[in-house]
């Protein structure tokens, strides 16, 4: 391992083994994020947003819903739900219940959607099947134990969008999610990878798990012409102002950190990743806010001094989570001591190469589109 280095513009550092610094000491993550943000400064966002909304409304005429949105109870998806209604759209909200929702998340979703008069479709995962898959990912020792949930959420949204023949509106945005190291988590679109982990380390077949293979994704994109829109990128989205608005108007309550609406996500990001892999996702989340101009680098560094876990809560979760997963505390500790692996150590090579080519194709399309708007 080389000498430790931290970016001079954001707070990403060499805990990402693939990070690259330029001669100024700026990393590739914030440099690329700023390029993506700059694109939205070159277009008339208000006009483009208006066109998108009109397109969605026109396609949705005569249908029960005109778009699909995902809701987790977090600030991004909650604020998106409000904005979608504010734009005059008729969304169906989709929620994936993977067995780890906090009570606060359930309350936030209920209060928000009731006041906005948005219908909710909740898909409850087969718990025994999903529990087994989560344990399989822990045993695989890759830093990707959260990707099955991410994969299932998108698969579920795609399926519902196809059912109603409407587009998907995504809450992901450049303000809060422009930066993430691939080495910290990748492969959420790779169904072959998920199946392989399940086969190698699990004890049950995946029969009911929502998924999209490469071919299903091509079907949705090419045959169904399914569209995805990232509407928060077309408004001046400020995370703290959004929180304040949700609290004042919908009784929304904060979780403290990004993605902590899920008990398992909090445990995974705040304990397993830092302890076993040396990865702290707060660096990426805070760096995204830095390049978006919503916090300073100094403020981010101060936030990094905060403890990841309260002592009593960690003690409680170290007992509760292994027990819910159906493994003993001793088994869990043994898993924590196994050497870390990488996504590329486990994922099948051929499907991975096909997916890489597919992503490169879409990246070229995006570049052409950006060039067109210049």
Other beta carbons within 10 Å of 277: 17
Distance in angstroms (rounded) separating the CA atoms of residues 67 and 280 = 35
Residue 130 has pLDDT above 90, yes or no: yes
Structure confidence at residue 359 (pLDDT):
57
Mean pLDDT of 282-305: 97
C-alpha distances out from residue 269 to 33, 76, 191, 216, Å:
22, 18, 22, 30
Residue 317 has phi, psi (to 5 degrees) of -70, -30
Q: Which of 148-162, 268-282, 327-341, 356-370 has the lowest mean pLDDT?
A: 356-370
pLDDT of residue 140: 96
Q: Under 8 Å CB-to-CB from 56, ≥6 apart: which residues?
A: 66, 67, 89, 166, 167, 169, 229
Q: To the nearest whole number, what is the mean pLDDT of the chain? A: 91
Q: Is the pLDDT of residue 109 over 50?
A: yes
Check residue 366 and give its pLDDT.
46
Structure tokens at 67: 């778009």
Instruction: State the fold for domain 45-373.
Output: Rossmann fold (3.40.50)
303, 359, 361, 370, 372 from 365: Cα distances, Å: 38, 10, 6, 9, 11
The pLDDT score that the predictor gives to residue 348 is 73
Does the pLDDT at position 257 exceed 90?
Answer: no
Q: Which residue has the higher pLDDT, 118 or 213?
A: 118
Confidence of residue 254 (pLDDT cuts 50, 70, 90): confident
Give the tokens for residue 347.
């994922």
pLDDT grade for 355, boundaries at 50, 70 and 90: low
Global confidence as pTM: 0.90
CA distance 194 to 345: 13
Q: What does the alpha-carbon distance between residue 101 and residue 204 come to, in Å, rounded to a whole number?
A: 23
The Cα–Cα gap between 113 and 93 comes to: 8
CA distance linking residue 293 with residue 299, whole number of Å: 12
Mean pLDDT of the region 81-101: 97
Token digits of residue 111:
């209060």
Q: pLDDT exceeding 90 applies to what percent of the chain?
A: 82
CA distance readout (Å), 226 to 165, 233, 370: 8, 19, 21
If DSSP codes are grouped into helix, strand and coil, which group holds residue 306?
coil
Average confidence (pLDDT) over 7-32: 97
């Amino acid at each position: 391992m080389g000498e430790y280095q931290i970016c001079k513009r954001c707070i990403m550092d060499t805990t990402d083994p693939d990070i690259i610094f330029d001669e100024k000491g700026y990393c590739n993550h914030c440099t690329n994020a700023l390029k993506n943000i700059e694109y939205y400064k070159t277009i008339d966002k208000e006009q483009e947003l208006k066109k998108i909304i009109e397109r969605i409304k026109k396609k949705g005429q005569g249908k029960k819903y005109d778009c699909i949105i995902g809701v987790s109870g977090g600030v991004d998806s909650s604020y998106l739900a409000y904005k979608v209604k504010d734009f005059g759209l008729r969304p169906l909200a989709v929620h994936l219940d993977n067995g780890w929702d906090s009570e606060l998340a359930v309350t936030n979703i209920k209060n928000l959607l009731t006041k906005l008069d948005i219908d909710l479709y909740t898909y409850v995962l087969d718990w025994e099947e999903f529990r087994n898959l989560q344990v399989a990912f822990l045993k695989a020792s890759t830093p990707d134990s959260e990707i099955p949930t991410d994969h299932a959420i998108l698969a579920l949204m795609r399926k519902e969008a196809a059912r109603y023949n409407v587009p998907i509106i995504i809450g992901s945005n450049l303000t809060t999610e422009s930066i993430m190291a691939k080495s910290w988590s990748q492969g959420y679109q790779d169904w072959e990878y998920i199946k392989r982990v399940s086969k190698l380390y699990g004890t049950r077949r995946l029969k009911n798990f929502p998924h999209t293979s490469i071919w299903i994704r091509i079907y949705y994109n090419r045959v169904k012409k399914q569209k995805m829109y990232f509407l928060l990128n077309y408004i001046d989205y400020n995370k703290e102002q959004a929180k304040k608005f949700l609290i004042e108007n919908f009784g929304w309550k904060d979780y403290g950190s990004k993605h902590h609406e899920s008990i398992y996500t909090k445990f995974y990001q705040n304990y397993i990743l830092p302890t076993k892999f040396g990865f702290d996702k707060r660096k990426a989340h805070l760096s995204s806010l830095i390049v978006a101009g919503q916090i300073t680098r100094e403020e981010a560094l101060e936030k990094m001094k905060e403890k990841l876990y309260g002592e009593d809560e960690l003690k409680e979760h170290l007992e509760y989570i292994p027990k819910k997963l159906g493994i003993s505390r001793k088994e869990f500790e043994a898993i924590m001591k196994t050497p870390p692996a990488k996504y590329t150590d486990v994922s099948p090579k051929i499907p991975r190469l096909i997916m890489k080519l597919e992503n490169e194709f879409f990246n070229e399309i995006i570049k052409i589109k950006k060039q067109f708007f210049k």
